[in-house]
Amino acid sequence: MNFILLGAPGAGKGTQAKLLSSNLDIPHISTGDMLREEVKKLTALGEKVRVYMAKGELVPDELVLEAIKKRLQEDDCENGFVLDGFPRTLVQAKDLDRLLEGINKRINLVIKLSVSPEVVLSRLSARQICEFCGADYNLETRPPEKEGKCDLCGGELVQRMDDRNEVILNRLEVYEKQTQPLEVYYREQNRLIEIDGGRDKDLVLKEILQIIRKDDRA
């Protein structure tokens, strides 16, 4: 089963992708992590990506797609994968479908995690990150052992600039405008399923697994 997780910032895509990867024994493919790995390995693709990352610019779609194509042809993707962080636009979705067709694969399901702005604000405003090593915490669900201090290195914990309420609300507005055509695209193809992502992560996981196991589009 090959599927995509969609959802606004704070919807829990990363959390669910990791849980699904473990439960279904398929790789969680985060485009951000994948690109950073290419840079770390000093590949030819990674060098192209590094130029954009070093400038703080978005990596062009063609390079992201090149990385995705390379990753999806690895042996561990033979029985499926969960894609997190891509596509984000209609153009990217169409390019992804063409890429997959070229390697004899297809997306079976697109699962959207729907959450209210209130839930997103609560989740993201509770996030903190170590300013030294980058480890992340959540004051509600995964707090540090010592308030304000990183468990790993003892560094100071701070709130990310993009997790401030006014920034979060703007990110949500941008997300909705950007992804609405994407959702229409997948819904018209009968591939989109929407579930409530505002619940406890275990309940969300249970529903996703039930959907996957009952679905006949695999």
191 has catalytic annotation: no
Active-site residue identified among 40, 106, 142, 160 = 160
Residue 80 CA to residue 3 CA, distance in Å, equals 8
Report all structural domains of the chain as residue ranges with CATH numbers, in order of start.
2-27+74-214 (3.40.50.300)
pLDDT in tens, 155-168: 999 987 767 788 88
pLDDT in tens, 60-116: 999 999 999 999 999 999 999 999 989 989 999 999 999 999 999 999 999 999 998
pLDDT in tens, 6-59: 988 888 898 899 999 999 999 999 888 888 889 989 999 999 999 988 887 888
- The structure tokens listed for 62 are 């063609």
36 has catalytic annotation: no
Active-site residue identified among 18, 36, 69, 88 = 88
13 has catalytic annotation: yes
88 has catalytic annotation: yes
160 has catalytic annotation: yes
